[in-house]
Amino acid sequence: MNKRPTILLVDDEPAITANLAPFLERAGFAVVTAVAGRTALRRIVEAAPDLVVLDVLMPEMDGREVLRRLRQDGNWTPVILLTQVGEAAERAMALEEGADDYLNKPFDPHELVARLRAVLRRTRPGERPLATAEQLTCGPLRLDRRSRRAWLADKELLLTPKAVGLLEYLMTHPDELVTRERLLDAVWGWDYPAGTRTVDTRIAELRRTLHDDPTQPRYIETQPGQGYQFIGAVEAGR
């Protein structure tokens, strides 16, 4: 990348944008800010940012509405939503919104930078991201995100809702090394005591159901001491 990627930062709290903008600039980004939903939509057109960081809770037009309008206009600029702790649990609505990633407030700014880099690495400019696909497939594996159901070949998989959420997050972030902490934050929305074990238990459930051998995985690979990575080639289904 020869040019500094431009980030549009949208938050109605000036204390946050004022501190976050210089932090992101030091991390190698060019930063544009907006304090309200309507201004944000205008800035996206004017500044054509590479990525938008969007606060959900804003007066008048909230972050979800901004994102909905953006996607309705066929604009696929990647978006990271800043949500409230716990909301991840209700992210079945994520699909309608088409956010590329989430971060719970209050967050560690270093984590935001890590998210920004990961999303930018994944994004093909102008191309519709996996995050907005209704169905995801990887070989014989098919996930219907709207109905929260999954099939292997033509056999429906019996999965707990949490396991479906986990599979969805991994499949929409293929080839990305996802830490257990990140999975907890994104899928569970909570930090749990000994949370890494909680993640491992569900990964084991997923692997059993997918008949995925951890020593020779087709789908989920363990990166020892780091996290998990979805290694299969994921495609957006119809």
Query: For binding to other proteins (CB under 8 A), which residues are involved?
Result: 84-86, 89-90, 106, 160-162, 188, 190-194, 197-198, 201
For other proteins, the closer of residues 46 and 191 by Cβ is 191
For other proteins, the closer of residues 69 and 162 by Cβ is 162
Q: What residues contact residue 22 under an 8 Å CB cut-off, 6+ apart?
A: none
Shortest distance, CB of residue 204 to other proteins, whole angstroms? 12
Query: Rounded distance, CA 213 to CA 219, Å?
Result: 9
For other proteins, the closer of residues 160 and 226 by Cβ is 160
Shortest distance, CB of residue 193 to other proteins, whole angstroms? 5
**Which one-letter amino acid corresponds to residue 71?**
R
For other proteins, the closer of residues 16 and 30 by Cβ is 16
Shortest distance, CB of residue 199 to other proteins, whole angstroms? 10
Cα torsion for 97, 98, 99, 104, to the nearest 10°? 40
For other proteins, the closer of residues 23 and 190 by Cβ is 190
Query: Rounded distance, CA 70 to CA 44, Å?
Result: 9
Helical residues (DSSP H) of 61-100, grouped into ranges: 63-72, 94-97
Shortest distance, CB of residue 192 to other proteins, whole angstroms? 6
| Beta strand 30-34 pairing with 155-156 | unpaired
Shortest distance, CB of residue 89 to other proteins, whole angstroms? 5
| Beta strand 6-10 pairing with 51-55 | parallel
